[in-house]
Amino acid sequence: MASVVFCFLMLSLVDMTKASQDTVTQAKELEVQKLLDKLNKPAVKSLKSPDGDIIDCVHISHQPTFDHPKLKNHKIQMRPTFLPKGIKSYPESKTIDQMWHQSGSCPEGTIPIRRTTKDDIMRESSFQRFGMKDNMSIPNLSESLYSSTNNHEYATAEVVKDIYYGAKAFLNIWKSNVQQRNELSLSQIWVMNQGDNNNVESIEAGWQIHPMLYGDDRPRLFAYWTSDSYERTGCYDLKCSGFVQVTSVVVLGGTLAPISLYDSTQYGINLLIWKDRGTGNWWLRYQNIVVGYWPASMFESLSAESATVIQWGGEVINRKSNGRHTSTEMGSGYFPRAGFGRASYFRDLSVVNENYYLISPNYIRGYASKPRCYDIVLNGYSSDFGAHFFFGGPGRNPYCPI
């Protein structure tokens, strides 16, 4: 009799455990669906990109950014009031396209948005931080950031302690090897203001390979922002409120092609970020296309003032699998001294000054958090490249064991 009762109790416990697990699963499914409904707005037209992405053409006034309380009654600024003066064109710059263009185009009055899938969300460890960087993503503003608990590594060039109303560069693009799904490799521009209280507001754009976010190892165009040092605000692309897109021909998060090859043709993208002196909005220009803007209302210091720090360069996340330094590559995976056609580079470094002219910056300083793993070499100025530098590295190697 006792054994029968014991078996009954065990079966009941199993049923209760299964019911509890089913409840948790159902709650998780509801949260996922709620987030998908928030991000994936009704499409006027949808396209299947050759890389597998679904591109939804969404009416410009229905984009996710207008879900933010600060932007409920926002009037879209369809074009900037001006472009900074002094934009130069350098020879031998092979620009590239986005892969989804092979499948068609979006109608005028719509913007293309990469559709977020259930798999995209399930790859993240936290729904609440879906599409966000972690709060250790600030490069070279405080040496304390490079403690043993920080898994971000950098090779950057920067200018500081002046008034900056924007920045520009040409970035060449590679298919960097990323060792683990929860690591990344990127190349970008940072436009930042660090206040007296050490709060960092940052506007960013570039290209990255980010398997956790996009589900593959393709180089993709991205934009990012934060107004509180990456704590609670900001996100990639259009995965939260904060960026107003106005063009129908560029997908944030879209695959870039073709890419640079070793000892072969070098391909890249021109990026320009600048502040509109008429509205205070910060605009993004990709190639010769005005993509959209970060509204002034999303910031404090960057809205009322200028940027105080401009950075260009690379970043990787190093998870130290099995206690060893990652083999995730930065840029081409070659150290900067490999030179043109082999190492990754930034060229035509420019800042927007107080007169809203693009000028070559003075007093550029380089920084590498682990130069035996990833390094940077400043190359000064040339008539072909403007102000430029080479950077990158292979990660784990005999001189970078941990």
**Distance between CA atoms of residues 186 and 139, nearest Å:** 13
- Separation CA 252–CA 159 (nearest Å): 27
Picking from 342, 329, 341, the residue whose alpha carbon sits closest to that of residue 374 is 329
Cα-based torsion angle of the residue sequence 11, 13, 18, 20 in order, rounded to the nearest 10 degrees:
160
Whole-angstrom Cα distance, residue 302 to residue 285? 18
329 part of the active site: no
Measured CA angle at 305 (ends 299, 308), to 5 deg: 95
* Distance in angstroms (rounded) separating the CA atoms of residues 154 and 139: 7
- To the query of whether residue 315 is one of the catalytic residues in this protein, the response is yes
Strand partners, 166: 274
Cβ 45 vs Cβ 110: under 8 Å: yes
Catalytic site residue from 158, 201, 315, 329: 315
Catalytic residue among 204, 231, 300, 305: 204
DSSP labels for 107-164?
Answer: PTTEEEEEPP-HHHHHHSS-GGGTT---TT---SS-GGGGSTT--EEEEEEEEEEEEE
Q: Are strands 94-95 and 267-275 parallel, antiparallel or unpaired?
A: parallel
Q: Hey, is 392 helix, strand or coil?
A: strand
| Active-site amino acid positions | 204, 315
